Structure 1
C-alpha cells in the first residue's frame, strides 16, 4: 500500500512518516509512506492508495478530494491527537481502514 501524507510544507509530517514506517515494519507490512507539501501533492496522488492530510490543512480537503477522485484514491484528515502525539501506529491503522473502505 502507498500512503501519501500532505501538509503545508511537508516537514511537520516527516517524523510521523518515520513512526508509521516503524509501525508497518513491526506488522511485517511493506508499505511506501511519504510526505509532500500541498503544492506538490497533485503530482503524487496518482501513485497513492490513500491520501492523509495533516490536521492543520483540513481546509484543503475538498481540493484534495477533487484531485484524488479521478484516481479513486480516498482522502481524509489525520486526527489532531494522533498527529500531535506522532502516533504512527494509530495513523497507520487509520490509513488501512480508509483503504479498505474503498
Structure 2
C-alpha cells in the first residue's frame, strides 16, 4: 500500500529538489511512497481534505510545527526536517525520518 509523505515549505522551490532525492532513495529501498511538496497554505488545506500519512515541515517554516501538530497530531504525524538533512538534500535521511514517524 502506498504511503503518502507531504512536505510543507515556504514556496516549494528548494523542497521540490528534496522530493526528487527522496523519491530516488525510496526507489532504492523498494518503498512504495508518494512524495510531494506544497506551500504552507496549500499543505494545511490539502491535509484536511486528502489522505496523508506524514507531514514534514521544511526548516524555514519550523515555527508552524505547533500549529500543524494541534491540527493534525491526532491523525497525522508531523515533524520538522532537520536543517542539516534539508541543507544537504539528504533524501535518504528524510525518508528514514518519515518511515520512523509512520510506525
Tell me, yes or no, whether TM beats 0.5.
yes
RMSD: 1.1
* Structure 1 residue runs without a partner (length 5+): none
* Structure 2 residue runs without a partner (length 5+): none
**TM-score, normalised with respect to structure 1:** 0.91
* Structure 1 position 64 matched with structure 2 position 60: no
CA distance in 2, matches of 1:66, 1:41: 14
Q: How many correspondences in the alignment?
A: 99
**Per-residue displacement from partner, 1:24-74 (whole Å, max 9, x unpaired)?**
01111110000000010122224210000001111011111122135x100
Q: Which moved more, 1:83-92 or 1:37-46?
A: 37-46
Q: Which residue matches 2:16?
A: 14
Matches within 5 A, 1:72-87: 72-87=75-90
Matches within 5 A, 1:31-50: 31-45=33-47, 46-50=50-54
**TM-score, normalised with respect to structure 2:** 0.91
